[in-house]
Structure 1
């Protein structure tokens, strides 16, 4: 009787140990599969501000972005109205999701810009290249934004918009006027684009995605939210 009881006890212990090992293996496999799924399908999300004074073509630019990168078409030009407050657009580029915040550029609305600085990974600033009479106003608004401490280290994409118009100044001329060499300590690019016909947009956005992925500011925002990126191959 004693031997039988001992055998039953040992059998029970073996069964319990087997169940524990099996459960642990299932947990490990789930963790591995979850990691593989994340590696293959997860996308980093970036928040990008679209700023500029009124009539710079920010919303037209955003709608053209949607048309280029999304299945659905953006709004047609005749249905776009000046932004009062905020427009939001979402696209996917490579392994990244980008959420764009298009803010109104009228003088009375520029005070709300700074409320979005802290969470932005990067800044896109549009200038109407066909309206030289407002270059100074546009430059002043840009400089004020860049001085704000909550935009420190944010990559900057400056776009000379409306290049489809015959009276648009060249990118080189606008570059000289803005005196961009003062931005040497900030990662930035200056590009001529057209929110109307889409020229230059895709190249500019893909540059911005690459810069954001390597940016120290992105690392800072990730650390703040506790986000752990999936390592790339």
Structure 2
């Protein structure tokens, strides 16, 4: 055990640290914030719904990770796109026990995957709430979300992990899924990171242009008065 730990230290010590930004998405009440707290080793009790945006920083091996915990309410999802340019990958949380909202989940996931800043980037699908009675199994979720079709359309790598963010024995699955996502990002890190750099610069330029145009409109309105 000691020799293995020493070998892992020596093997990782020569690797440069990499900064990775992930977005954790999903419908409201899917368990996104609880999942983030589980990853951090915090108590998931008394979690309040995320309103807007909450960033979380943590260290995972050679990766300095920032997770954007984005609110899943229908009126908030339109804001997700403003954070996509910075993301190296996506964690998408599915409430496995809420069969009635599977179509809404599928449509939301499909919309995310179609976005030009997300298409092709790796996706970790967390089939949460497996502790609930009647929760869908992995194969059923694949069918409900039409994942095979989405993969063909958007050319992305994914892993689906059945889990429960509130059960200690199921939390290990979340950590394993996160490790897979980071390794997948790591394999194509230079390409993905260059894409992130370019997309982020373009978005900031567009936002600055919008601010200038808006300021000019306000100036003209004041002059007309």
So what's the TM-score if we normalise by structure 1? Answer: 0.72
For residues 133-148 of structure 1, the aligned pairs below 5 Å read 133-148=100-115
Residue by residue, what CA displacement relative to the aligned partner does 1:41-79 show, whole Å, maximum 9, x if unpaired? 852110000000100000000000000xxxxxx2x3332
Q: Which has the larger radius of gyration?
A: 1
Conserved in 2, the CA contact under 8 Å of 1:66 and 1:89? no
Residue by residue, what CA displacement relative to the aligned partner does 1:94-121 show, whole Å, maximum 9, x if unpaired? 2111110010000000011000001100
Task: Structure 1 unaligned segments of length 5 or more: list them.
Answer: 1-38, 68-73, 226-233
Residue 213 of structure 1: how far off its partner (Å): 0.7
In structure 1, the partner of 2:166 is 196
In structure 1, the partner of 2:20 is 46
Runs of 4+ more than 2 Å apart: 39-42, 76-79, 218-225
Q: Secondary structure at the match of 2:85?
A: coil
**Count of aligned pairs:** 181
Kindly report the root-mean-square deviation, in angstroms, between the aligned alpha carbons of the 2 structures: 2.0
So what's the TM-score if we normalise by structure 2? Answer: 0.75
Residue 149 of structure 1: how far off its partner (Å): 1.1
| 2:187 aligned with 1:214 | yes
For residues 10-89 of structure 1, the aligned pairs below 5 Å read 40=14, 43-67=17-41, 74=42, 76-89=43-56
Task: Structure 2 unaligned segments of length 5 or more: list them.
Answer: 1-12, 201-225
| 2:159 aligned with 1:186 | no
Conserved in 1, the CA contact under 8 Å of 2:20 and 2:88? yes
